[in-house]
Amino acid sequence: MENVETFRLRHAPRFQWAASGNVIRKSVFHESDAQWHAGWTNENLIEPCVVESTMGHGGYGFGMWASPPEDKAHGPNGPRNVVYPCDIRSPKTGLWLGGMNENWLVLYNRFRVEKGSG
């Protein structure tokens, strides 16, 4: 997926159950949060994208979020997802990885967060 602009979606961009080998590039996501939302999303790439997260519209407020293994509705994610070089803005932590998210490459990104870590 390339050159897409979205407004006020709950989660965007989003990878869902077993999504593998997808590429999202050169896109802008306004008032959304990027998500690896459920079970074993792996080997996906997000490159030169902008994610402007907010707390509204059902989003969690993190710039990017990956579900943890103990989350019975979603399950763990990874391995080998890649985020490279994106611009992430969020009111909470810029990238929240909920455990067991192994062997990810998060390189040359810019995180601007109001509270929390990049």
How distant, in Å, are the alpha carbons of 2, 16, 30, 57 from that of 117?
A: 28, 25, 21, 23
pTM of the full structure? 0.92
Query: 42: which 2 tokens?
Result: 């792996």
Per-residue model confidence as pLDDT tens for the chain (118 residues): 999 999 999 899 999 989 999 999 999 999 999 999 887 899 999 999 999 999 888 888 999 999 887 877 787 888 899 999 999 999 999 999 886 778 999 999 999 999 998 8
